[in-house]
Amino acid sequence: MAGEILIKPDLQFVKRVIAAGGDTVKKCYQCDTCSVVCNLSPDEKPFPRKEMLQAQWGLKEVLSDPDIWLCHQCSDCTVYCPRGANPGEVLGVLRQMAIEKYATPPVLAKAVGDPKFLPLLIAFPMILLALAAKMFGYLGIPEGEIVYGKMFPTLLIDFIFTGAAAFAVAVLAKGALAFWQDINAPHPWRVKVEGNLAGNLIATLKDILFHNRFRLCETTYKRSTNHLFLVFGFIFLAMVTGLAFYHEWFDPHGQITKVYVTMKLLAIPGTAALLYGIWNLIKERQANAEKAGYGSYYDWFLIYVILVVGATGLLSWLFRLVGIGILAYPTYFLHLTAIFMLFFYAPYTKLAHIVYRTVAMLHARMSGRGF
Ligand code: SF4
Ligand code: SF4
């Protein structure tokens, strides 16, 4: 019969939502208060009520619903929900499960969300880096002036981290493509996209970069400001790293040496912004824990990796400046371990939000959903 919808509930899926932290999903009685109070929800087919219903009923299709990515987990809905169903947190769990669905291999995404795999996730880059240092650099505390290149020659660093970044980009690109195909597949709840892809993509990226939608949140408004610091800290550090790479590989006559030496100073405000942003994000989460939820292990995984990247980066610079090799080299080793975790596990952590949220916001903009 035309227009008939076949509903296939999956009880295992509901159990997984509950186990991953969405234990309140069953409390929802569909009053729709959450969709009304959400400042980010469009008038047409608003979220998060319909996603709560799908999750309750075990409809796995919700994992390819672009609307779960339009939510910035500000918790306005959680504060107003009369049943304590925590819709903001449930959507967070659905996003985590969507990352698992689109990531390759999904088992790595499951490992990132499960604390019992944390020792393994840390051990992998540590062993890899230790072996690399042993074979091509120096595993220990080198004599003389502190030069990190003695432990890890530049070529080795470039090889390891370009490889880790390339892996992450490939996995994310594959996932994003599959997600885009899914959200454009015919479905009763979905709408077709129209218009100029490049122009809409640029507008979407601008929205994301300046957190225009994130700043519409109320309960955790400060989170968007702290997040902005974090993002611009990353951008500054990425610019310095990119320039260093270019200088090393594509500038044999040192034509950009002066620019590079000046631009290197950007690493200082970059690290400061990163540490300021992440530290305040932690404090804000703790301060708002009662009304907005404390966040899951999955949320905290990325927060702590970023904190370790920033703190060990700063400390390895300071220890080198004051010449304490016995502290400088191990701190640098930890710094590289954390950076590897940030890059290599990016398709499985909340960092993947950047990619899937961009795809979902692009879709929303191109399907005229008030973006
Ligand atoms: S999650 Fe809460 S506010 Fe939203 S529909 Fe369910 S009971 Fe109502
Ligand atoms: S957490 Fe915030 S953005 Fe997400 S659905 Fe609730 S009110 Fe909307």
Dihedral (C-alpha) 285, 288, 291, 296: value to the nearest 10 degrees? 10
Ligand 1 atom at minimal distance to the Cα of residue 29: 7
Distance from the alpha carbon of residue 63 to the mean position of ligand 1, in angstroms: 19
* Cα within 13 Å of Cα(90), Cβ side: 31
Work out the number of other CB atoms within 10 angstroms of the CB of residue 167. 15
Q: Other C-beta atoms within 10 Å of 235: how many? A: 15
Q: Find the Cα–Cα–Cα–Cα dihedral 42, 48, 51, 56, rounded to 10°.
A: -160
Distance of CA 82 from the midpoint of ligand 1 (Å): 7
User: Domain limits of the chain?
Assistant: 11-98, 106-366
The pLDDT score that the predictor gives to residue 191 is 63
pLDDT of residue 323: 96
Instruction: Ligand 2, residue 70: give the atom nearest the CA.
Output: 3
Give residue 257's pLDDT: 84
Q: Which pLDDT belongs to residue 125?
A: 98
Helix (H, G, I), strand (E, B) or coil at 75: coil
Q: What is the pLDDT of residue 369?
A: 80
Calpha distance 108→128 (Å, rounded) = 17
Could you name the CATH architecture of 11-98?
Answer: Orthogonal Bundle (1.10)
List, for the chain, all residue ranges whose pLDDT scores fall below the cut of 70.
1-6, 187-192
Q: Look at residue 89 in the predicted model and tell me its pLDDT.
A: 92
Ligand 2 nearest-atom number relative to CA 74: 2
pLDDT of residue 6: 67
**Is the C-beta atom of 125 inside 6 A of ligand 2?**
no
Question: Are residues 78 and 48 in contact, defined by beta-carbon separation less than 8 angstroms?
Answer: no
pLDDT at residue number 1: 45
Inter-residue contact 274 to 306 (CB < 8 Å) = yes
Instruction: State the Cα–Cα distance between residues 87 and 364, nearest whole angstrom.
Output: 21
Helix (H) or strand (E) holding 90: helix 87-102
Please work out, in degrees rounded to the nearest 5, the angle formed at the alpha carbon of residue 99 by the alpha carbons of 203 and 356.
5
Ligand nearest to the backbone CA of 26: 1
Question: Closest Cα partner for 281 from 251, 305, 257?
Answer: 305
